[in-house]
Structure 1
Amino acid sequence: MTNSERIAVTGATGQLGRLVIAELLRIAPSAHLIGIVRNASAAKDLAERGVELRTANYEDPAAVRAALAGVDKVLLISSSEIGQRVRQHSHVIDAAKAAGVKLIAYTSLLRADTSPMALAEEHRKTEALIRASAIPFVFLRNGWYTENYTGNVAAAVQQGAVLGAAGQGRISSAARADYAAAAAAVLASRDNQAGQIYELAGDNAFTLADYAAEIARQSGRPVVYKDLPAADYKAALVSIGLPEAFAALLAESDAKAAKGSLYDDSRQLSRLIARPTTPMAQSVAAALAR
């Protein structure tokens, strides 16, 4: 990486984006970092640390094109708007091509090319668009974030149960910060990353029964895993206020996890970040401490 390289991160004020920016500031202090944000006022802290802010959102092709002008590398963090992702991502890909971006890194899904999970479809289509663009690319195929579970630790302790439909499926999750470190490592690398496809997952897999037992151990309260049919799990998610379509997607993901879709033992993530991934127990401890 050269001092003149300009690295842009989309969704820079999101949960993953902020962590990527922080890691880049640590490992690549000489880089010119550009945070692409929807609202610059929500990113004043980034500006204070020397990050250039450019305002755009995935729905505005002209703004995205302006935001990527002069950029050498861009991290396209996948949109959170399921069902709209391919169209939104296409705006970033088209803008990157017009800007002559030298590398686009995309946060995809673990084994997106073969995964039976419904979530994989939009990632497959986005990967295809990136390949067709002829922009040099890196696919960061992220597995599950442990925070997908630990965000509900308080409720699990209160109710004495973790609900799911993953059976005895082993889940190789990692902390969001681990995936952010991987993205930063790729963007800051002096090696040619073009064409790399990383299947990223945690070092140590666990079942949801293991997860519930860890919450019980650390909290000192009885917490068990209750495995449900996917339809019942979906209904439970709807009952706590999740939109029906999103609840169905989560339940389907759990059902596929029961068959191994979120298990991976390649340890590509820990090799890429040059350290072990964050243990599930550590993530549980952090969640309980909040």
Structure 2
Amino acid sequence: MSIVVTAASGNLGRLTVEALLTRGVPASEIVATSRDISRIKDFADRGVEIRRADFAEPGSLPAAFEGVDKLLLISTTTPSERVANHRRAIDAAVVAGASLVAFTSMLHADTSTTTLSPTHWATEEYLRERLPSVMLRNGWYLENYTDQLPQILRGGTLVGAAGQGRISAATRADYADAAAVVLTTEGHDGKAYELGGDEPFTLTQLAAAISAATGKRIGYTDLPVDEFAQVLVGAGVPAELAQVLADADRAMSHDEMFTGSGDLRRLIGRPTTTPAEAIAAALR
């Protein structure tokens, strides 16, 4: 029986496979799947089994999930296709006899007003009806900001539409560690973990942290949601994604990306990565 990780060619999936190996799971008991297995060949070189899985092609899933014990279902990227793709994967996991499916949902999926939340909540409901499951409600990634550091430093400002809302962000590695814990320990069936960083921040505070780390004065420019979406489009973000990201900032302004649950810290058994640590790592 194996632990199957979907979307293993993506950032979170790749880090989860690494976290499983670090926790001592034998490579031979891990299955990494991707639509393009050429992107995960390095795992095969280390003894991890790689299989092709495309949620849009149900015929690819029985072989991909064969022998599964626990499955990490990483949320797919295209919102309009997400629920149908997730249902195909869940149905295949039922047929394969999975004992637990962990799904990477989003923070406060049951109450969030973002345009992202309905597809995550619909997946949660479908999954709960069919299999033992655990919801990993991941908050925002710190990388969503640290990946922008070159542009922020060039422009001298962090731009958003989050007002003074608090954001409980953590690194992908933090969330991957949590997934690995859930996949390798017991007692998680039926849980919904609200996952976020220990040190919430506003974007004004994040700009100040960037200033402190770089010695360059960085401010925060808060824009109306529609204007922020236009800025994102101007920076090369596709229009549909720009609207989704701008809407996420709107929700942040109401603390919808904040959690004081402590779930992430408890799962991984250590403090989460702080914004200052993430900024320092990105600047190296």
Cross-structure match for 1:197: 192
Q: Of 39, 42, 50, which aligns to 1:42?
A: 39
* Whole-Å separation in 2 of the counterparts to 1:243 and 1:6: 38
The structural deviation recorded for 1:192 is: 3.1
Cross-structure match for 2:180: 184
Aligned-residue sequence identity (percent) comes to 46
Secondary structure at the counterpart of residue 193 of structure 1: coil
**Residue type of the partner of 1:263?**
F
Cross-structure match for 1:175: 171
Aligned 1:30-69 pairs, distance under 5 A: 30=26, 32-69=29-66
Count the aligned residue pairs.
Answer: 283
Cross-structure match for 2:109: 112
What's the TM-score, normalizing by structure 2?
0.97
Cross-structure match for 1:70: 67
Aligned 1:147-162 pairs, distance under 5 A: 147-162=143-158
Q: Residues 20-66 of structure 1, C-alpha deviation per residue, up to 9 Å, x if partnerless? A: 00010011333600001122222121112211001121211110122
The structural deviation recorded for 1:132 is: 2.2
* Whole-Å separation in 2 of the counterparts to 1:30 and 1:112: 33
Say if 2:14 is the partner of 1:18.
yes
Structure 2, unmatched stretches of 5+, are none
**Residue type of the partner of 1:8?**
V
The structural deviation recorded for 1:263 is: 0.8
**Residue type of the partner of 2:141?**
Y
The structural deviation recorded for 1:14 is: 0.6
Secondary structure at the counterpart of residue 79 of structure 2: coil
Q: Of 66, 78, 81, which aligns to 1:81?
A: 78
Cross-structure match for 1:283: 278
What's the TM-score, normalizing by structure 1?
0.95
Q: Of 138, 142, 155, which aligns to 1:142?
A: 138
* Whole-Å separation in 1 of the counterparts to 2:119 and 2:53: 21
RMSD: 1.0
- Would the aligned equivalents of 1:157 and 1:216 in 2 still touch at CA under 8 Å? no
**Residue type of the partner of 2:144?**
N
Aligned 1:228-247 pairs, distance under 5 A: 228-247=223-242
**Residue type of the partner of 1:94?**
D
4+ residue segments displaced more than 6 Å: none
Cross-structure match for 2:204: 209
* Whole-Å separation in 1 of the counterparts to 2:187 and 2:168: 28
